[in-house]
Amino acid sequence: MQPYIYSIIHIVGILLTFMGFAYGMKQWSKGAAIAHGTGLVLILVSGFGLISKKYNNELQTWMFVKLAIWLALGGAIVLVKRRVVTGVAAWAIQLGLGAAAAWTVYHGISLLG
Ligand code: HEM
């Protein structure tokens, strides 16, 4: 498979994950959990697909940072479900994690190696 296919799956996974957050924050439903969980699986599989296609399976520091962010995004759905964080705080945590993941790609590569 061409690398761009993995990139598209990566982005679709990100969209699904955040749609799950948005639906779950409005009103908790099984669909929100399914969207979020499916999105995370797509992100993980395509992320490692990209590592194999674009980086020849050589692991770099920024990739571990993204893995940690991925885990945090997984845990964050529990906070949404139990309404531990709501409103602006929830938005800030979710978007902050997403922005940090994007940062590692566009700047962290040169900074972290
Ligand atoms: C297990 C977790 C993850 C792994 C292993 C991973 C890995 C990767 C890799 C290898 C690339 C290609 C970088 C390049 O083009 O040089 C990439 C791109 C990208 N990742 Fe991730 N990633 C993960 C999670 C995430 C998460 C959680 C987000 C955001 C919420 C994210 C956002 C992006 C974006 C915006 C791009 C650039 C577009 C693209 O090339 O597809 N990633 N990721």
Task: Determine which residue's CA is closest to atom 19 belonging to ligand 1.
Answer: 105
CA distance 17 to 9: 12
User: Mean pLDDT throughout 93-113?
Assistant: 89
Instruction: Express each pLDDT in 69-89 by its tens digit.
Output: 999 999 999 999 999 999 999
Separation of alpha carbons 112 and 78, rounded Å: 30
CA distance 10 to 77: 19
Distance 43 CA to ligand 1 centre (A): 8
b/e code 78-110 from CB counts within 10 Å (16+ = b): eebeeeebeeeebeebbeebbeebebbeeebee
The ligand 1 atom nearest the CA atom of 7: 41
Instruction: Give CA–CA dist 23/58, Å, rounded.
Output: 36
Average pLDDT, the chain: 95
Which residues does ligand 1 sit against, CB inside 6 Å? 7, 10-11, 14, 43-44, 47-48, 50-51, 54, 63, 66-67, 69-70, 73, 98, 101-102, 105
d(CA 55, CA 7): 13
Does position 14 have pLDDT exceeding 70, yes or no? yes
pLDDT value of residue 105: 92
The pLDDT of residue 30 is 97
When pLDDT is averaged across residues 24-37 and rounded to a whole number, the result is: 96
Length of the chain in residues, anyone?
113
- The domain segmentation of the chain, as residue ranges, is 3-112
Q: How far is the CA of 30 from the centre of ligand 1 (A)?
A: 26
Is the pLDDT confidence value at 111 over 80? no
